[in-house]
Each structure stands twice: as C-alpha cells, then as structure tokens.
C-alpha cells in the first residue's frame, strides 16, 4: 500500500518533469532561431557608407592579388557591409571594405580610396 501511494505521487511528478524537459529545448531552439534570424538580418544591413575618392578597382578579395570585377569612378557613393583587414597597399592602412551584401559574391574596395561618410 505504501509503495502504491509513493508510485501514485511519483507518476505525476515524473510527468511534470518530462513535460518541462520536452518544452525547454523547444523554447531554447525557438530563441536560438530568432537570434540567428536577427544576426542574419543585421549582417545584411550596411554598417557604414562612403564616397570613392579616386578611380578604384573593386576586387573579389581584400588584396591586389584578387581579380578586378569592376572599377568605381570618383565620387561614387558606396554602402559598406563589412570592414576587413587585408593587404596594406600603400603602407597607410590594411583596411578593405566589403561593398556587397553577404548574400551576394564578395566585392572589396581598398579603404584608402573611400571617404567614410557616417
């Protein structure tokens, strides 16, 4: 009789704990998914903007060894999606700016050729 009473108490407690364990990972996964979505959305927003100072080669990577995709004329307005360290071209700065969103192929322009506006 004593075992039956203990068993009758433990079954609802076990069911409650099992319910908490099942719900908690789902809530955490949902929170994680929302965080990932927010980070992904933020990555698509430009972090800065600037104006090209002189004719500038736009490359597939942050160094002169990467292919030139296009050339921007002076005073072209660009949106900057990321600032990265790359080749130090003229000995002034190793900073390159990614001027393409992260869901597109990477395009970089040397930081010494861009006047940051913001």
Structural domain boundaries in the chain? 1-44, 48-116
Burial of 79 (0-12, 13-18, 19+ CB in 10 A): middle
User: What's the pLDDT tens digit per position in 13-43?
Assistant: 566 555 544 445 445 445 544 544 444 555 5
User: Does pTM top 0.75 for this prediction?
Assistant: no
Q: Kindly report the CATH class assigned to 48-116.
A: mainly beta
Round to whole Å and give the CA distance between 14 and 56. 67
When pLDDT is cut at 50, 70 and 90, the band that residue 114 belongs to is very high
- Give the pLDDT of residue 20: 46
Mean pLDDT of the chain: 80
Of 30, 102, 38, 108, the residue nearest 72 (C-alpha): 108
Of 98, 38, 34, the residue nearest 62 (C-alpha): 98
């Amino acid at each position: 009789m004593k075992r039956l009473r203990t068993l009758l108490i433990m079954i609802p407690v076990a069911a409650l704990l099992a319910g908490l364990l099942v719900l908690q990972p789902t809530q955490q996964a949902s929170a994680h998914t929302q965080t990932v979505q927010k980070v992904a959305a933020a990555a698509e927003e430009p972090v800065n903007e600037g104006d090209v100072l002189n004719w500038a080669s736009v490359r597939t990577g942050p160094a002169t060894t990467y292919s030139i995709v296009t050339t921007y004329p002076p005073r072209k307005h660009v949106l900057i999606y990321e600032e990265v360290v790359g080749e130090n071209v003229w000995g002034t700065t190793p900073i390159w700016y990614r001027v393409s969103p992260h869901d597109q192929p990477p395009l970089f322009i040397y930081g010494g050729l861009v006047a940051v506006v913001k």
